[in-house]
Amino acid sequence: MQDAKALQVAVVGTGYVGLGTAVMLAYLGHHVTGVDVDQAKIDMLTRGELPIYEPYLDELLRESAPRLRWTTDYASAIPNADVIFICVGTPPLPSGQPNLAYVAEAAQSIARHLNGKVQVVVNKSTVPIGTGDWVARILEENAVDYHANRYLVVSNPEFLREGTALHDSLYPDRIVLGSDSPEAIERMAELYEPLLSQDFAAPVSVPRPDCYTQPALVKTSLSSAEMIKYAANAFLALKISFANEIAGLCERVDADIQEVTRGIGYDQRIGPHFLGAGAGWGGSCFGKDTAALISIGHEYGYEMPILAAAIEINQRQRQLVIAKLQQHLHRLKGKRVAVLGMAFKPNTDDLRDAPAHDCIARLIELGAQVVAHDPIAMPRARHEWRHLRYQEAESAEAALRGADAAILMTEWDDYRRIDWESALRGMRHPLVIDTRRVIGHFGGAGIVEQIGKRPASRVAEVTA
């Protein structure tokens, strides 16, 4: 991208979304300033270190460093910015509604440093319908010298998957821009022109897919863009819960859920993605966004029973894992249980709403001794899961050694490479609850039980 087309960009919030957005836009040639109130995080980024794990993000950070700056100072980031992204967290409240306190704080701080030229403020955080209008009012009320039609608000939801965030950023299915201002849409299209035309040089570590052409540009109203984000995540959560519900019936009729989902996934009306049965979905989006939609419905007297059922099924899957263990071990008190995988999905260290957390907590409650392992997320868990009493294992093999049972919670490639027949021979009882279909063909002695399928073997039955 030529400097003549480069825009000045500020990104407020350097979490998973903000950090990926900042690095990606800098790679495309824009001049980006990342803003965060956490000085320790800013110091790390200034040193070229990442506070999160995301494949290849460190490489792109180094390559884009000349166009990146990090600060806690709004006054040095906002006045000259052409586009300002709000990428702060919106954690759920007990009611299910998202907590917008961080969005309000960011919008107020942005407003105080706007300089009177046309500036576009972008809601990148996942926010309820109507938040765009609310942010516009915050800007109007807090700007030092407010100018009508100068400070334009856009909803530009992200559709990134942790673990493949750079791929999803550089080669998106669509870019959604919601605003009532044609000028704001035009500036955002200018910002994203390299993505829309795909004329940038693809990173070696994140190559352009062979069949990829260009993303769709979806121009909508503010409220429609906000609804698109919620509806997309809710539908994906529904697909996973549907697969899990069918998996339960598959076990009872001796069908294999993996064969069933493969068969229905070839139907273009359904598609193969997000039909993996297992311990249920986790992470920062699906649970929060489905709960938020239900909460919004309540505000308008509109019930959403399908989404409520999806959440119920997801919680049931987490309990199912423990129930399967109890069917074999009966009493868990005093048993040593290895839990492999702590992050909610592979290729990330994100522990938010991870199914493994609920699993470990329940095992401890039932008196089991838990030994846990994760290739990436253990350092983060050491801080965020301090309330859980478990032992760390230096390797998956060490966790399995002498265990009465193992529960495989995250489908890391590291676990696929384990010699499972040998590993089971080293366990006190050769029992694995494989919730993510990591173990392929198994012909050894022991029991490998998977969601939606009869146990792979019943040789050497486990005793209490």
pLDDT tens column, 35-74: 999 999 999 999 999 999 999 999 999 999 999 999 999 9
Residue 29 token pair: 């040639």
Q: What CATH number is given for 317-450 in this structure?
A: 3.40.50.720
The predicted pLDDT at position 125 comes to 85
CB hemisphere CA count around 88 (13 angstroms): 20
Q: Is the dihedral of CA 442, 445, 450, 456 positive or negative?
A: positive
Q: Which of 87, 211, 250, 285 is catalytic?
A: 285
| Average model confidence (pLDDT) across the chain | 93
Query: How far does CA 2 lie from the centroid of its chain?
Result: 33
Q: Which residues fall in the annotated binding site?
A: 36, 41, 90, 126, 159-162, 229, 274-278, 282, 288, 345, 352
Angle, in degrees to the nearest 10, between helices 222-253 and 286-299: 120
Spatial separation of the C-alpha atoms in residues 431 and 412, rounded to whole Å:
19
Residues 405-432: pLDDT tens digits? Answer: 999 999 999 999 999 999 999 999 999 9
* Reported confidence tier of residue 116, pLDDT bands at 50, 70, 90: confident
Helix (H) or strand (E) holding 325: helix 305-329
Cα–Cα distance, 179 to 28 (Å, whole number): 23
pLDDT at 444 over 80: no
- pLDDT higher than threshold 50 for residue 1: no
Residue 129's CB: how many other CB atoms inside 10 A?
A: 18
Task: State the Cα–Cα distance between residues 186 and 379, nearest whole angstrom.
Answer: 43
Indicate if 211 belongs to the active site: no
Question: pLDDT at position 93, please?
Answer: 83
Both structure tokens of 28: 């495309």
Tell me the domain boundaries of the chain.
Answer: 3-218, 230-311, 317-450
- How many Å apart are CA 220 and CA 180, to the nearest integer? 8
Detail the residues annotated as belonging to a binding site for NAD(+): 36, 41, 90, 126, 162, 288, 352
Which tens digit of pLDDT belongs to each residue from 254-310?
999 999 999 999 999 999 999 999 999 998 888 889 998 998 999 999 999 999 999
Do the domains 3-218 and 230-311 sit in the same CATH topology, yes or no?
no
DSSP state of 171: S
Decide if 175 contacts 217 (C-beta within 8 A): yes
3-state DSSP call for residue 104? helix
Q: Which helix (H) or strand (E) segment is 8 a member of?
A: strand 8-12
Q: H or E segment at 11?
A: strand 8-12
The H or E element spanning position 447 is strand 447-450
Reduced to 3 states (helix: H, G, I; strand: E, B; else coil), residue 164 is coil
Name 216's bridge partners. 174
CA distance 146 to 181: 17
Per the annotation, where are the binding residues for substrate? 159-162, 229, 274-278, 282, 345
Q: Indicate the SS3 state at residue 421.
A: helix
The fold of 3-218 is Rossmann fold (3.40.50)
Torsion angle, alpha carbons of 166, 172, 178, 179, to 10: 70
Integer CA distances (angstroms), 157 to 127, 154, 218, 304, in order: 9, 9, 11, 22
CA atoms of 194 and 285, how far apart (whole Å): 27
pLDDT at residue 96, rounded to an integer: 75
Q: What does the alpha-carbon distance between residue 436 and residue 279 come to, in Å, rounded to a whole number? A: 7
Residue 456 has pLDDT above 60, yes or no: no
Was domain 230-311 assigned CATH 3.40.50.720? no
Supply the Cα-derived Rg of the chain in whole angstroms. Answer: 24
Cβ-defined contacts of 378-382 (< 8 Å, 24+) = 378/342, 379/349, 380/349, 380/351, 381/342, 381/351
pTM, entire model: 0.89
CA distances (Å), origin 272, targets 169, 250, 263, 277: 21, 18, 9, 12
**Residue 463 pLDDT:** 38
